[in-house]
Amino acid sequence: MTETNFTLKKLAEALGAELRGNPECVITGISPIQNAKKGDICFLNNPYYKQYLATTQASAVVLSAQDADQCPLPVLVLKNPYLGFARLAHFFSRVPHFEPGIDASSQVAKSAQIDPTAYVGPYCKIGERSLIGAGSVIQAGTVLGDDVVLGENCCLYPQVTLYSRVKMGDRVILHSGVVIGSDGFGLAQNEKHEWVKIPQLGGVNVGHDVEIGANSCIDRGALEDTLIEDGVKIDNLVQVAHNVRIGAHTAIAGCVAIAGSANIGRYCMIGGGAGINGHITIADQTVITAMAGVMSSIEKPGYYTGGPAQPHRRWKRVIAYFMQLDELAKRIKKLEKLNQ
């Protein structure tokens, strides 16, 4: 058996799933339920895809107990099939292997310390006094400034830029084009209404198990560090301004913009394209839907929608009234004519 061939018994044990069916069934891949073929395993989480249970060509399905009786195939039963899929996908992920060492084309400062088990790819630059932890991978064209700290088992994809005094925890993933530690947008006007740059003297501190998507930017603090806590997941094209704090295990979708000194709580979810004002606080476990505009602090967790953002149920009522405005305007005009 190759490393991408697994018995259902082994997968069930790894996931902590209840196995119904042949434990020796061999799984060689993972696919969507509607396109799966023999040897594949798939998952069912969305009720829409139940229609494919009877016709799928998969060899096994990951699903919940309430759907298991409807499936003619071997199944792995879990309370959360989607989480099971996430963990299952790791078995079939083909991660490139990098031999430890420093490519001859890279420039590494004499005072930098790079663990012997780390990898530094072609045309990278590592600044003075920077520290690279065990097992970390720095791919081609990446630049680390002076006094950068990179923890263990991190992965920096090609052309990532870390300015000086950026600190990373362990197991951090930075995708291509990420820039961390660039100057915050700090400006003051003089008597002539000209802009005077405010030097950004802080750094950026990123915790463990953080992932940041392609072309996202995190600015350094003006005086203190910008802070990204453990387990934060940031999508592509996100802007995080200076002195922002993002609490642990918060997830931020693409194209979100967070203004300076915003304090975002833990376990929050922020939908794509949302805008968050500066110098406000967002409570732990808050959900902000896509394209919302958060103008003031949110003190109670819940779902917030619209611009300015407000509790979701209230926003639905506001939209319902808004959709009736044209008809209401016509009725008012008729009443005005009657009163003339």
User: Is 55 exposed, middle or buried, given 0-12, 13-18 or 19+ CB atoms closer than 10 A?
Assistant: exposed
> Average pLDDT of the chain?
95
- What would the mean pLDDT of 162-177 be, rounded to a whole number? 98
Residue 320 in tokens: 């319902």
- Distance between start and end Cα atoms, the chain: 89
Whether residue 136 is predicted with pLDDT greater than 50 in this model: the reply is: yes
Angle of helix 8-15 relative to helix 81-89, nearest 10 degrees, comes to 110
Whether residue 222 is predicted with pLDDT greater than 80 in this model: the reply is: yes
Q: What is the pLDDT of residue 3?
A: 55
Catalytic annotation, residues: 242
Name the pLDDT band for 149 (thresholds 50, 70, 90).
very high
- Lowest average pLDDT, out of 54-63, 168-177, 278-287, 331-340, goes to 331-340
Name the pLDDT band for 1 (thresholds 50, 70, 90).
very low
Cα distance between residue 140 and residue 191, in whole Å = 46
**Superfamily holding 6-92:** MurE/MurF, N-terminal domain (3.40.1390.10)
Residue 210 in tokens: 């953080």
Question: What is the secondary structure of 48-74 as a DSSP string?
Answer: GGGGGTTT---SEEEE-HHHHTT-SS-
Name the pLDDT band for 67 (thresholds 50, 70, 90).
very high
Q: What is the pLDDT of residue 314?
A: 87
Whether residue 22 is predicted with pLDDT greater than 60 in this model: the reply is: yes
Spell out the residues 6+ positions from residue 71 whose beta carbon is closer than 8 angstroms to its own.
44, 53, 61, 63
Residue 127 in tokens: 């600044």
- What would the mean pLDDT of 67-75 be, rounded to a whole number? 93
In three state form, how does the secondary structure of 176-208 look?
Answer: CCCEEEECCCCEEECCCCCEEECCCCCCEEECC
Q: What percent of the chain has pLDDT over 70?
A: 99
Cα distance between residue 102 and residue 119, in whole Å = 6
Q: Is the CB of residue 39 less than 8 Å from the CB of residue 26? A: yes
Q: What is the pLDDT of residue 299?
A: 96
Q: What is the pLDDT of residue 319?
A: 82
Predicted TM-score of the model (pTM): 0.89
Helix H or strand E segment including 20: strand 18-20
Q: What is the pLDDT of residue 194?
A: 97
Kindly report, residue by residue over 261-313, the tens digit of the pLDDT. 999 999 999 999 999 999 999 999 999 999 999 999 999 999 999 888 888 88
Q: What is the pLDDT of residue 2?
A: 40
